[in-house]
Amino acid sequence: MSLSTIIFYLLATLTLVSGFLAVTTKHIFRAAIYLLFSLLFIAGIYFWMHYEFIAAVQIVVYVGGIVVLIIFSIFLTHQSGQNLPKQKLGRTIFSALAALCGFILILVQVYQHQFVGTIERSVEASISNIGSQMLGVSDNGYALPFEVVSMLLLAAMVGCIVIALRTPKEIKEGGL
């Protein structure tokens, strides 16, 4: 068993364990930290697969951006140290069963299916390749989706500001 294999299984285990803890732990702050680790290990898997750019994006956007945003909102909306409200047992069991059923269904499908890949020469996922194709307008270019996504981001930005903005009445009454 090569080192690479060991690393892979290690990463996989850590990802799943920290992901599982992130959804089950009672402390919200810990949940955020477990999530952060889970995302980091996923970035590790990307590294293992030699997709360094994606791994970097994962770390920068998820770990550096989204998780920080989440922690921020925890601060805004929570007295820290408080335990999360407990869910009813029946709901927990039912959800676990439903998730398990879906999991098994999909796994069975995955293992039954014969995946057939291409045999053509592979393209290196280097930053220059990704960059030129992302903005390319040729056959494999992604300029249009890129523009669309940029529009979406703009709209989302405007949207959050509008949603989070307090109305003048609320400002007068004080509060958050």
Partner 1 sequence: MQPGLNQILFISTALFFIGVYGFFTRRNLVTILMSVELVLNSVNLNFIAFNKYLWPNRLDGVFFTVFIIAIAAAEAAVAIAIIINLYRNHQSIDVEKAEEMKY
Partner 2 sequence: MPNAIYIALIPLLPLAGFLLLGLFGRRIFKNNSGVIGTLLMMCATIISLYVAYGYFFEYGKVNGVYQKLIPFKYAWLVFSKDLSIDMGITLDPISVMMLVVVTFISLMVHVFSLAYMKGEERFSTFYAFLSLFTFSMLGLVISSNIFQIYIFWELVGVSSFLLIGYYYDRPSAVAASKKAFIVTRFADLGFLIGILVLSFYSGTLDFNELISRLTAPGSDQLKAAVTSSFMGISAITWGTFLIFIGGAGKSAMFPLHVWLPDAMEGPTPVSALIHAATMVVAGVYLVARLFPVFAMAAPDSLQIVAYVGAVSALLAAVIACTQTDIKRVLAYSTMSQIGYMMFALGVAKYGGENGLGYTASMFHLFTHAMFKALLFLCAGAVIHFVHSNEMADMGGLRKKLPVTHIAFLIACLSIAGIPPFSGFFSKEEILLAAWQQNRTIYWIGLITSGMTAFYMFRLYFSIFWNRDFNDHHSAHNHHGEGGGLITIPLIILAIGSIVSGFIPFGNFVSSDGSRLATGFHASFSIMPVSIGVIGILIAGWLYKKQSDKPDKISSSLNGLYKTAYHKFYIDEIYLFITKKILFNLVGRPAAWFDRNVVDGLVNFTGNTTQVISEKIKGIQSGKVQQYAIYFLIGAIGLAALIIYW
Residues 29-48 that bind partner 1 (CB under 8 A): 31-32, 35, 38-39, 42, 45-46
Instruction: Enumerate residues 62-101 that contact partner 2 by CB under 8 A.
Output: 91, 94-95, 98-99, 101
96 contact choice in partner 1, partner 2, none (CB below 5 to 8 Å, kind-dependent): partner 1
Phi, psi of 85 (to 5 degrees): -65, 145
Indicate which single residue of 37, 47, 73, 144 sits in contact with partner 1 (rule: CB under 8 A). Answer: 73
Best CA proximity match to 41, nearest among 4, 12, 2: 12
Give, as one character, the DSSP assignment of residue 2: -
Indicate which single residue of 96, 135, 147, 171 sits in contact with partner 1 (rule: CB under 8 A). Answer: 96
Please give the Cα distance from 174 to 158 (Å, whole number): 24
Phi, psi of 167 (to 5 degrees): -75, 155
Indicate which single residue of 60, 105, 134, 151 sits in contact with partner 2 (rule: CB under 8 A). Answer: 105
Q: What is the DSSP string of 52-104?
A: HHHHHHIIIIIIIIIHHHHHHHHHHH--TTPBPPPPPHHHHHHHHHHHHHHHH
Indicate which single residue of 90, 117, 168, 174 sits in contact with partner 1 (rule: CB under 8 A). Answer: 117
Indicate which single residue of 44, 110, 128, 171 sits in contact with partner 1 (rule: CB under 8 A). Answer: 110
81 contact choice in partner 2, partner 1, none (CB below 5 to 8 Å, kind-dependent): none
